[in-house]
Amino acid sequence: MSDRLFIFDTTLRDGEQVPGCQLNTIEKIEVARQLEKLGVDIIEAGFPISSPGDFNSVVEISKAVTNPTICALTRAVKKDIEVAAQALEFAKRGRIHTGIGTSTYHIYEKLRMTPETVMEQAVEAVKYARRFVDDVEFYAEDAGRTDEELSEAIELLSVAPSFRNEGWLATSFEVRRRWPQEKYESLGVPTWLYGHEPATPFATHIAKYFDNSIREDGILTIAKGGIIYSPGSAGTLQEIFQDAVQNHYLSFGYASPMIFLDSDYWTKQIPVYPLLEELLSKGRYKNLILTLSDDEADVIAEIRKFTEE
């Protein structure tokens, strides 16, 4: 058995999802060359089907470095795998990283499948990827606790579902005590603008912003798949117009859906939605993708439609 440790670096894929971190192809090549100098074994260079920019980055990084294996991310979808294989054409050693959601939520709500069909699709994806490359890595998205453990934890938390409820912190700590984890790190980003809203007790690290606008901008930047706005007050209104500005200017190269849940609230009580529609029709805002609904299923469908396009 080999004792060799392989370094798998995701700076150019996962790392680029950090708020404010948008690299062009030239910058990605510079990073890839430095990773090669450091002796990194595998570089995950991008998600080729997600955009022409990501596709081109994988192509150019494949040409620019020699020693590392160049990895391309895909979903367990044939078209994804085919596009990844095309992007890896110039790689000396290519790897396809494919996978599928495996949690109960992913299987039944996001994918609308069964555990059996998810297993079949996962197997088929790996087999199909092997037609193009010898090196295939599989991921099980959102895998973790068993369904029974998850249900038990939710039942525990339901006693005090909000920080306003007595016992909220005690039940949260009880969940952490009964199901400890040391594998992952997470970041909670509350703000001191609202002194009454505590930080999440489940994050391994807490970052505090004194300036709420910086915090909101970071959250909106991360949410590439869109934002769902349920009824809220001043902070929610701030998010709406910051989001509209990002989408209008295509600050990060794309616009994401703005979905408003509760028609009465957003058209009568706080009539933000008709205002956005009017500004969009007059050209004062551009690139806004607006949806108004009272149906949670419609909201999920809109998000899914955008993320799958």
Three-state secondary structure of the chain: CCCCCCCEECCCCCHHHCCCCCCCHHHHHHHHHHHHHHCCCEEEEECHHHCHHHHHHHHHHHHHCCCCEEEEECCCCHHHHHHHHHHCCCCCCEEEEEEEECCHHHHHHHCCCCHHHHHHHHHHHHHHHCCCCCEEEEEEECCCCCHHHHHHHHHHHCCCCCCCCCCHHHHHHHHHHHCCCCCCCCEECCECCCCCCCCCCCCCEECCECCHHHHHHHHHHHCCCCEEECCCCHHHHHHHHHHHHHHHHCCCCCCCEEEEECHHHHHHHCCHHHHHHHHHHCCCCCCCEEEEECCHHHHHHHHHHHHHC
- Between CA 199 and CA 182 the distance in angstroms is 19
First to last CA, the chain: 44
What whole-number percentage of the chain has pLDDT above 70? 92
The whole-number average pLDDT for the span 143-160 is: 85
Asked if the model's pLDDT at residue 99 lies above 60, the reply is yes
Paired tokens of 228: 């769902």
- Average the pLDDT over each of 107-111, 193-197, 247-251 and give the range with the smallest value: 193-197
pLDDT band at 1 (very low <50, low <70, confident <90, very high): very low
> Dihedral of CA 21/26/27/32: which sign?
positive
Cβ atoms of 133 and 62 within 8 Å: the answer is no
**Tens-digit pLDDT profile for residues 255-304:** 999 999 999 999 999 999 999 999 999 999 999 999 999 998 888 888 88
What is the average pLDDT across 97-112? 87
Mean pLDDT of 22-48: 93
Q: What is the pTM of this model?
A: 0.55
| 17 — pLDDT class (breaks 50, 70, 90) | low
| Residue 228: pLDDT over 60 | yes
Q: Which amino acid is at 112?
A: R
pLDDT at site 159: 92
Average pLDDT of span 118-129: 96
- % of the chain residues with pLDDT over 90: 58
* pLDDT given for residue 211 in this prediction: 64
pLDDT at 118 over 90: yes
165-220 pLDDT tens trace: 999 999 999 999 998 887 778 877 776 555 566 778 888 888 766 666 677 777 78
Mean pLDDT of 48-61: 93
Q: Looking at the DSSP assignment, which residues form a beta bridge with residue 228?
A: 259
Residues found in the chain: 309
237: which 2 tokens? 């209104």
Amino acid 150 reads: L
116 Cα distance to chain centroid: 25
User: In angstroms, rounded to a whole number, what is the distance separating the alpha carbons of residues 70 and 57?
Assistant: 11
Name the residue with higher pLDDT: 218 or 95: 95
Lowest-pLDDT range, 18-32, 205-219, 239-253? 205-219
Mean pLDDT of the chain: 88
Model confidence at 18, pLDDT cuts 50, 70, 90, reads: low
Residue 168: CB atoms within 10 A of its CB come to: 17
**pLDDT, position 61:** 97
pLDDT for 20: 62
- Rounded alpha-carbon distances, angstroms, from residue 236 to 76, 153, 162, 205: 36, 29, 18, 24
234 or 130, which is more confident: 130
Q: Report the pLDDT value the prediction gives residue 234, as an integer from 0 to 100.
A: 83
